[in-house]
Amino acid sequence: MSQTSGLERGTQGKAIAVERLRHAIAQGAVAPGQRLVESELVEQFEVTRGSVRAAIDELVAEGLIERIHNRGARVRSVSHQQAVEILECRKVLEGLIAAKAAERITPADADRLRGYSARLSAAVQDGELLEYSTLNHELHAVLREIAGQETATDLIARLNAQIVRHQFQLSLRPGRPQVSLPEHLAIVDAVVAGDPIAAEQAMRDHLDSVITALSRTA
């Protein structure tokens, strides 16, 4: 095996381990405070120990995992209050993203966003909560792509990583999609209309709604 192919396999193994470990944390398969045993993760994810260690290091940097001296790594426990504070910070950044997206919107971008509005509406109508959650995340990612504000995008990614479990649980709560759908449609409408002020306000209103819903579960 060449050195290059070995590096490629190592990179792929790390990516697999990161994705699966993040997914396990989001779904609650790995509980907050639970110690992570490398040998168990190697067997579970079918990757090398080096890939598992690299994945843990990446999720430590994201704030999902923490290392305890002489005790190894464990899933970081984020309280409801901490999650609310993170969402308050995200509200400002996401508002900026929405405003920038409205300023930079193109006809092709508008078509993409309208497509997400239709698909989100269909997912709610059909009761497809997981599909709705996936489309929700995709829509926000597309808005960041359109906005082209790399610093805000990077900060949002770091903030979101820390509350991924809270967000996943909230997105599957009965009745929540019916509340958030019109909020997302309002964001899309304002961005497509090229109105940065309305787009920022619609995004802030949406995040305020998320904060309120999360606070009620505390």
- The string of DSSP codes covering 148-174 is T-HHHHHHHHHHHHHTHHHHHHHHTST
Of residues 150 and 71, more confidence is placed in 150
Q: Which two tokens stand for residue 123?
A: 């997912």
Whether pLDDT at 4 is above 60: no
Q: Is the pLDDT at 2 greater than 60, yes or no?
A: no
Q: Which residue has the tokens 């609650």?
A: 28
Domain count, the chain: 2
List, for residues 137-194, the tens digit of each pLDDT value.
Answer: 899 999 999 999 999 999 998 887 777 666 666 766 778 889 999 999 999 999 999 9
Question: Tens digits of per-residue pLDDT, 10-68?
Answer: 578 888 998 888 878 766 777 778 888 989 999 988 899 999 999 999 888 877 788 88
The whole-number pLDDT of residue 95 equals: 98
Q: What are the helix (H) ranges across 27-128?
A: 38-45, 49-62, 80-104, 107-125
d(CA 115, CA 50): 41
**Same domain, yes or no: 67 and 148:** no
- The structure tokens 């990614």 sit at 157
Domain identity same for 49 and 96: no
Specify the pTM.
Answer: 0.72
pLDDT value, residue 71: 81
The reply to whether 27 and 107 lie within a common domain is no
Domain that holds residue 119: 80-215
- Same domain (yes/no): 157, 69: no
| pLDDT value, residue 179 | 93
Q: What pLDDT is recorded for position 107?
A: 98
pLDDT at 3: 44
